[in-house]
Structure 1
């Protein structure tokens, strides 16, 4: 019978092979960034139709070489960044859809106890009434990203509607954190050309994920923790949620898998980026 530590080691090796072709970005605060989009990771094709009622689906991405941006502006990509590159066994934890005062404070508390930084992709309609939590994220060294205003399916919106979703959320983040977000994540992982272009116009890089905990399905604390531990590998970006439903399992699972990752030698950090 495998121990949890042994499962982490085996799962990490498997994840490296499975996600080795995903895009890269730099992890950590001290390493120069180098984002390199590459071949697509496994997942459904970009044209797959989604139902608006589906709260969370697997990543949908389009792939292709990035278009060079003008000097001093953010690169317009044709795919989201999916992995981090850095020294040692670097991983990134991300939490979407918040902040929610029922769950986000507990997640922040656990991260603080272990002196770990994470990324929070916030929805404007949640953030506007919980700016104190955004300020707390910033004070603790976490990265606050843009996850649109109301979590719509961007592929069904006009360009002006997408821009409004992004701009309104960026304004809330800037007011609460002192600076606008520089990372963006499309709801449901449903990216399109307009989302990439408009995100770049607002100075944001697109970030996807490598390991999906599927915690939105409330599969159980142990199942969520096992998905993280088995998927752990250098460069992995983990997707979890701190809002959008009952996230008590996500809160408890973090308490289980975070010390396991740290004890196994993983450096849980946040990515850095640079402007072209």
Structure 2
């Protein structure tokens, strides 16, 4: 993956200034197939600007692992609407759940996840690393064009709690900038790498116009526990308002792809709506 320090800092600083102190209201709606954007067919391998999966036959070498069980400390917010905890479960959405995928997009695994979601007419959230987004722009466009929510997962997936405020601003700001450049809209949600949050990350994320999103059910797919184990964790943890954490990059995610193809039809058969959050 590449670092690109040429992304404009001015837009990040302007967004920080504009976002400070702005009140934010959050509402959740079910994915509406009728009102969703048109879904173009995936580009053929070799199309201009695309990166064919055939160029790589194995997963990326690095491993991105969330810190399971980590919860943020309670802080007094510096200024509204800075939160002291991320959203972990979403209330008042009825018999609905949210599927989320971290660390991508990956040209080997993300297209298969998108294919499964499209087959079942379901929308999900993708929390993208800026480096990966910058290197796979056509895939980012496909995620957005097919109606999924694009979130910010930092540029290089660092441990945010070890960074200075300037470092956090750079990681989140550069990622928001590249997502906005690719999709035409800056992300409204972000997730801290490893699920490690602190006051600085909450404040800077809010200043950039984003809400923090954690999870309710961790599939632990990054441990490569087996497809059956991933399916079992999702189906046993299912419930109204549950947010499911999975990964589409950062290692071998073939089990995550296979598991989605099994648990998604089960959730739908059990009457769950798979929705994404929208902000007003």
Same-fold call, TM cutoff 0.5? yes
Unaligned runs of 5+ in 2: 1-25, 32-62
1:201 to 192, 203, 207: 207
1:192 to 184, 187, 198: 198
The answer to whether the 8 A contact 1:26-1:85 is kept is no
**RMSD, matched Cα:** 1.9
Q: Which residue of 2 aligns with 1:42?
A: none
- How far residue 106 of structure 1 moved from its aligned partner, in angstroms, is 0.3
Distance 1:197 1:87, change over 3 A: closer
2:133 to 114, 127, 130: 127
Q: Which residue of 1 aligns with 2:23?
A: none
**TM-score by structure 2 length?**
0.76
- How far residue 69 of structure 1 moved from its aligned partner, in angstroms, is 4.6
- How far residue 187 of structure 1 moved from its aligned partner, in angstroms, is 0.3
**TM-score by structure 1 length?**
0.77
- How far residue 172 of structure 1 moved from its aligned partner, in angstroms, is 1.0
Distance 1:118 1:57, change over 3 A: same
- How far residue 59 of structure 1 moved from its aligned partner, in angstroms, is 4.1
Distance 1:242 1:117, change over 3 A: same
- How far residue 87 of structure 1 moved from its aligned partner, in angstroms, is 3.9
3-state SS of 1:240 partner: strand
Q: Does 1:62 align with 2:63?
A: no
The answer to whether the 8 A contact 1:58-1:189 is kept is yes
Aligned residues: 225
Q: For each residue in 1:191-250, what CA deviation from the matched residue of structure 2 results, as whole angstroms up to 9, or x when unmatched?
A: 000000000010000000000000000000010001000000001000000000000000
Following TM superposition, where does structure 1 have runs of at least 4 consecutive aligned residues deviating by more than 6 angstroms? none
Unaligned runs of 5+ in 1: 1-24, 31-52
Q: For each residue in 1:21-54, what CA deviation from the matched residue of structure 2 results, as whole angstroms up to 9, or x when unmatched?
A: xxxx643159xxxxxxxxxxxxxxxxxxxxxx97
Provide the rounded CA distance (Å) in 1 between the counterparts of 2:107 and 2:92. 33
2:146 to 128, 140, 155: 140
Q: Which residue of 1 aligns with 2:95?
A: 89
3-state SS of 2:278 partner: coil
Q: How does 1:89-238 map to 2 (within 5 A)?
A: 89-238=95-244
Provide the rounded CA distance (Å) in 2 between the counterparts of 1:235 and 1:101. 30
- How far residue 64 of structure 1 moved from its aligned partner, in angstroms, is 4.0
The answer to whether the 8 A contact 1:212-1:239 is kept is yes
The answer to whether the 8 A contact 1:26-1:84 is kept is no
Q: Which residue of 2 aligns with 1:33?
A: none
- How far residue 86 of structure 1 moved from its aligned partner, in angstroms, is 3.6
Q: Higher mean Cα deviation, 115-124 or 82-91? A: 82-91
2:270 to 232, 256, 264: 264
3-state SS of 1:91 partner: strand
The answer to whether the 8 A contact 2:129-2:175 is kept is yes
Distance 1:84 1:26, change over 3 A: farther
Distance 1:121 1:78, change over 3 A: same
